[in-house]
Each structure stands twice: as C-alpha cells, then as structure tokens.
Amino acid sequence: MLKNSFKQKVEEILAPADVRINGDRLWDIQVHNENFYKRVLAEGSLGFGESYMDGWWDSTDIAALVEKIFHSGLFQKVKTFQTFKVILKAKLSNLQRKSKAFEIGQKHYDIGNDLYRLMLDKRLVYSCAYWKNASDLDQAQEHKLDLVCQKLSLRPGMTVLDIGCGWGGLAKFAAEKYKVSLVGLTVSKNQLELASAVCQGLPVEIRLQDYREIDQKFDRIVSIGMFEHVGYKNYRTFMEVVNRCLEDNGLFLLHTIGGNQSAATSDPWILKYIFPNSMLPSLKQIATACESLFVMEDWHNFGPDYARTLAAWFNNFDKNWDTLKTDYDQRFYRMWKFYLLSCVGTFRSRTNQLWQIVFSKKGLKDGYQSLR
C-alpha cells in the first residue's frame, strides 16, 4: 500500500509535465524497479539520475522527457534534502578555490582522450557548435571557431590568451588561419599532452595552469566553455584577472553556458557524476562581476545550437560504443547517455542558454560591429 502511495505521488508530480509512468509515448517513463518512486521522492534529481544508471527505469526519448520536465518547471518546484545540502555546501565554502582547480580536470577531462576523440568533431572542440549554414558537426565547430576569431578581430602578429584551451582546437585554428600567437591554459593533464602535440610547430604554448596564476599582457583574451567551472564566489576574481592581462585596446570574448536564474551551485547529479564544483552563471552574475572593469560590446545567445551539438555528440558516442566498451562499463554508458540527452532537453526547453559576450576595457570609440 505504501509503495502505491509513492507511485501515486510521483505520477501527480509528473502530470503537469505530461509525463506518464509506463505510458506509451516516446517520452514516458518505463519503470523496472518499484523502489524507483521512493528513491526519487527522497533524493530528487540525484535519485532520478542514479536510478537510471542502475537500470531502474528507461525512456525511449530521454531528451524529450527532460525537456518536458524542465519546460513545466518541475525541477524548480521539487526540492529535497539533497538539494538543500548541495546549496548549503556551496554557500559555506568556495568550491572552486585555487586548491580545487585541478579536480575537474582529473574527474572529467582526464577520463580518456579516446572517448573524446570518438565523441567530438575532428578538432576535439568540447563546446557548443555554431550550426548556421553548417551541415555536420565538423563544419559547425569550424564555423564557431571562425566566428570567435572574427568577433575578436584577430590580425597577424597579435597575442592571444585562451583560458580553458581544451585539446587545442581554437589555438591551432587561430594560429594557422589568423597568424596569431597563443598561450592556452588548461587544468587537464590529458588536454595538455594532446593540445601540445596538436599545436607542435605553431606559435602556441599550452600550460597546465590555473587562470589565477597568469600575469602577462595580451592583445586578445578568449574563454570558451570554462566559465562554468569558475563559481559565483570567483566571478569577480576571474574578471579582474582578464582585466589585468588585457591590453587597454584589447577585446575579451566569453563563451559560456548560462542559466535564467542566479544560483550558487548546480544539479546534484551533474555535480557528483559529470562536472564536480560546476555551476552556470546568470545574466545578473556576469554583469555584476564585470561592472567597472569592462564595457559590454556584444551579447549573442544561440542556446538552441547546443541541443543539436549535444545530440551529435551522443550519436557519435552511441555509434562508437562497441569500441569504447572495452574501457568503460555499461553503467558508464547509461551515465553518459543520461548526461548528454538530458542536457539536450535542458537546452530545448530554453532553461539553459549559450552566450558569447564581447567586452572591451574602455569601449570602442566607433562602436562594435556585431557578427552573426
């Protein structure tokens, strides 16, 4: 009787999102373990994700399921003890302090270059692609890199700092096509090794270094997909570092996922299994962090492109699973599938955004020409 009441409660919670238990629509949830209901009610999103990893439930279309849940606002309404525990921890300590800077590298980016080679595009760009006039992932990522370079008005001989350089995709592209020299920062040993090899022979230096340690001048600064690891307590410090390192007539481009509401932390499941110590900034938090330091020249949102990018990554991951499963188990497969497809849903629901923001230090005299 008690189990039936747990099930009824979950059904009531999901009803506003038009999601049914054991329904026949693609996005409906098929429950394999009756303990699923109690677990989700007690643990919220953490229990939802973990129970999927454990094979307690399935859905034919996870992306559509998550899109419906987020579009209905359920994740904002349903709070558990686990949620408040994560928020309290973020409030009481600086989870992204310097001593923890390399944790994300070890736990996410260092789990295997072969995984990322088989999942990403040929340049290994692990951030949102730009699909305007693109027909496949390789082309869409090249369009994104070129858009970034054009927005920064790169010219031969310029010096560029890339904060969070990944596997060197932008560094190699900009050095070859725009004839600039670059310093790339990463907190991942695997990225350092591969990016250094990829950029060999080019005027590119890749460093294993926290952004707070850099103290030299550059004509241009770019940060793509790294700000999500900075943390709200460090946003101002990040902007002060960029201001310190940017020449007075320089430009800074920030490419980051963003949230519609200010927060202090991220989803408990994402924090535990995918991106430890991560969180998404809001418009307000970014604006507050850069106040009196920069003039905002341009703000470009192409969040829906990330849904398509993530779907392409999952297709590559799924297609290459027979090769990858020699190094990863079935639980990892379900974890990674849930990660990629649930993120597709959050971007389709417009809960998450993707922003490219261009800043100058004192404002461009004749204004900035926006590129799209």
pLDDT mean over 14-36: 96
Would the pLDDT of 2 be above 70? no
**C-alpha atoms less than 13 angstroms from C-alpha of 142 in its C-beta half-sphere:** 10
pLDDT mean over 322-333: 97
Least confident of 95-99, 219-223, 240-244, 359-363: 95-99
Residues 6 or more apart whose CB falls under 8 angstroms from that of 364 comprise 295, 297
What separation in angstroms does the CA of 309 have from each of 10, 144, 244, 316?
A: 31, 11, 34, 11
What gap in Å lies between CA 20 and CA 10, rounded to an integer?
9
Least confident of 62-66, 96-100, 323-327, 335-339: 96-100
Any idea what DSSP says for residue 22?
A: T
Q: Are 196 and 237 in contact (CB under 8 A)?
A: no
If one counts every other C-beta atom within 10 angstroms of the C-beta of residue 92, the result is 8
Token reading at 312 = 């392409």
Q: Are 155 and 178 in contact (CB under 8 A)?
A: yes
Q: Which domains can be identified in the chain, with CATH numbers? A: 2-78 (no CATH), 98-360 (3.40.50.150)
Q: What is the pLDDT of residue 92?
A: 47
Provide φ and ψ at 363, rounded to 5°.
90, 135
Q: What is the pLDDT of residue 304?
A: 97
Q: What is the pLDDT of residue 100?
A: 63
Q: What is the pLDDT of residue 81?
A: 45
What separation in angstroms does the CA of 157 have from each of 16, 182, 230, 249, 275?
A: 57, 10, 30, 15, 36
**245 classed as catalytic:** no
Side chain identity at residue 31, one-letter code = V
For 156-202, the pLDDT digits (tens) are 999 999 999 999 999 999 999 999 999 999 999 999 999 999 999 99
pLDDT cut 90: percent of the chain above it: 84
Q: Are 172 and 204 in contact (CB under 8 A)?
A: yes
Average pLDDT, the chain: 92
Query: Quick one: which of 368, 367, 333 has its CA closest to 52?
Result: 333
Least confident of 12-16, 33-37, 74-78: 74-78
Query: In sequence order, what are the beta bridge partners of 57?
Result: 31
Q: What is the pLDDT of residue 88?
A: 43
Q: What is the pLDDT of residue 4?
A: 75
For 45-99, the pLDDT digits (tens) are 899 999 999 999 999 999 999 999 999 887 665 555 455 444 444 444 555 666 5
Residue spans of beta strands (DSSP E) within 2-114: 30-31, 57-58
Any idea what DSSP says for residue 274?
A: T
What separation in angstroms does the CA of 76 have from each of 82, 110, 136?
A: 14, 32, 34
Q: Active-site residue among 199, 245, 290, 343?
A: 343
Q: What is the pLDDT of residue 65?
A: 96
Token reading at 307 = 């849904």
In the numeric block, the tokens 């303990």 are attached to 35
Q: What is the pLDDT of residue 104?
A: 82
Give, in degrees to the nearest 5, the angle at Cα 109 between 39 and 218: 130
Exposure pattern of 334-349 as b/e (b: 16+ CB <10 Å)? Answer: bbbbbbbbbbbbbbbb
Q: Are 289 and 239 in contact (CB under 8 A)?
A: yes
What separation in angstroms does the CA of 39 have from each of 3, 35, 214, 303, 344?
A: 11, 6, 45, 32, 24
For 139-168, the pLDDT digits (tens) are 999 999 999 999 999 999 999 999 999 999
What gap in Å lies between CA 236 and CA 227, rounded to an integer?
12
Would the pLDDT of 316 be above 80? yes
What gap in Å lies between CA 26 and CA 7, rounded to an integer?
20
